[in-house]
Each structure stands twice: as structure tokens, then as C-alpha cells.
Amino acid sequence: MAQTITIENNSNLERLLISHPEMEKKVRGIVRQVIRGAQDGVQRAAMPLSTKQAYEAVRKAVYKKVLGGNINIVSSRRKSGKVAPLPPESQRKKSNLRGGNRMARSQRTIDLLTYAGADRGFILRFLNEGTNTRTSRFGNRGAIAARHWFGRMSQTELEHAAEQFELLLDALIDKEFNE
């Protein structure tokens, strides 16, 4: 679920990349700038779709080894296999009240029970792809209709970013050749 910008073969750019060692860093900076603009556009489109700041789950990536980048919806906070251990017995609160352990919630537990806006990528993915009709023994629980908003919005934003990239790259190439 990612949309990507690719750079067509440009002989002037290739010549500059070979002759100037700093040029790759400058081009990657331009890619980062236009991808950030595209990310902002997709986030603005996602704002009215859901509550709880789910638009923050729209992420950008700029590649390290290849000149390019993408926009995607990722929820990367939860990683499988990482379990927070319980604190030692000495840190647990003792209480005369009945009902078992009266240990206060750790910050890790509070983080897992709450969501930040950047962790709500699943909401945007449900809105984009939809869900099947859910039923239980008590009746129909409904379905989420697919809106397919991400592909349309990210493609238009990346096309606009590609136009901006061409302009900025041409200006950079002209500047380097004139020096």
C-alpha cells in the first residue's frame, strides 16, 4: 500500500552525480522536501475520515541506496516478540483490600492501552480497504465499506510532487553547471 516516485534517466543528473560527491545528498534533500509536501497533502485528505488524529499514520520514506521515496500507511510501534516484563515483587504495592494485586499500571501498560495518532494506521487501512460483514451469535455487527481513498490521493499528490521535483532538480542542475 505504498505509492512511489521514480526518477527517469537524466544524463545531466548522472554526469553531476559522478563529478560532484555532494550532489547525491542535495538530490536526496530535494526528494525529501517534495515527499514531505505529498505526505502533508495525503494527511489533509485523511483528516476528515476518522477521529483521534489517525492522519498521523501516513508516513513517508526516502530511500538510502536509490534516489526516490514513497508514502504509506504504517503502524510500526507494536513489534511481535517484545513483551514488557512485570516489575519485581519488591516494587508491587501491598494492600489490605481484597481483590488481588494492587500494583499500579506501568508506563508501558498505559502506552499499550492508549493510542497515539501515529499508531492508528489500522483505522486508515480499514477505511481504505473495508472489512467483511461481521456477525456474532447476537446478530450482525456490520461492515466498513471500502473507500479506496489512499491510492487516489497519494497518486495525485505524488504526481504533483514529481512535477515539483523536476522543477527543483532542473534549477539545481542549472545552478551546478553555471558555477
pLDDT at 178: 82
pLDDT at 136: 87
Query: In angstroms, rounded to a whole number, what is the distance separating the alpha carbons of residues 129 and 22?
Result: 42
Query: In angstroms, rounded to a whole number, what is the distance separating the alpha carbons of residues 168 and 23?
Result: 13
Give the pLDDT confidence of 47-96 residue by residue, as tens digits: 888 777 888 889 898 888 888 888 988 755 555 445 445 445 555 555 55
pTM to 2 decimals?
Answer: 0.70
* Domain range enclosing 17: 2-178
pLDDT at 52: 75
Backbone angles phi, psi at 112, to 5 degrees: -75, -30
Alpha carbon of 117 to those of 38, 46, 58, 91, 132: distances in Å? 19, 12, 10, 32, 25
Give the pLDDT confidence of 129-159 residue by residue, as tens digits: 999 998 888 888 889 899 888 988 989 999 9
Number of domains comprising the chain: 1
Name the E strands within the chain: 2-5, 58-62, 69-73, 134-136, 139-142
The confidence band for 36, taking pLDDT boundaries of 50, 70 and 90, is very high
pLDDT at 40: 94
